[in-house]
Structure 1
């Protein structure tokens, strides 16, 4: 008899959800927004989450409403400056382990881990990020 195991959602194979973490997890305390498309409507819904651990390949997030997040969503850092595309890997009570679509730069992950105030915005952290991230923050300032 064949072993009929429930397969993961279809995005898991693309996001490396079956692989273990490559980078060293770093503890952090960042409040962010999880954005996901609403069913049947061309708009997005949001949910506040807390990132408690992050590494180059993924993160551990917490929220009291974590069960409402779909298998695929975006984590928004700052005021719309940076979006991280995520896929759900594992959910345990109010915590979710997620994978990123592409690995983050190590200096960026280290800069995020250094944030000591959870509600700190990326603009307040200006000067602590690599040049590529600084340019994205400056571009968002010019748009406003």
Structure 2
């Protein structure tokens, strides 16, 4: 069985850590199934076309030499890939680091780590309920 990463993103679960997804999917019955998760790096990733609509998603690039970081929106990363002819909407997010050619401004190395960053969505705050002198919520 494989996880549909694109489906997870469409259902708003893109920012949930994979360990939490695994726990949600595990059978907790006393005579549980024997579901085992293995990481398969090949073809494991989210196509860029699946996350273009999400304004709360960006790529964070970190230099492995000096640890300098920078962020870019998915739309900007895809536009650069298309203009360079090195990728399109079917490019997986896990392939981006291998396509980077610019050296780090801090140390000059071309060794990047790339990850998706999901902005935290704050839960709506409830306004405090106040009672008037009659005991009615106002």
TM-score bracket, normalised by the shorter chain, equals: under 0.3
Q: TM-score scaled by structure 2?
A: 0.23
Is the radius of gyration larger for structure 1 or structure 2? 2
Greater helix proportion = 2
Greater strand proportion = 1
Q: TM-score scaled by structure 1?
A: 0.23
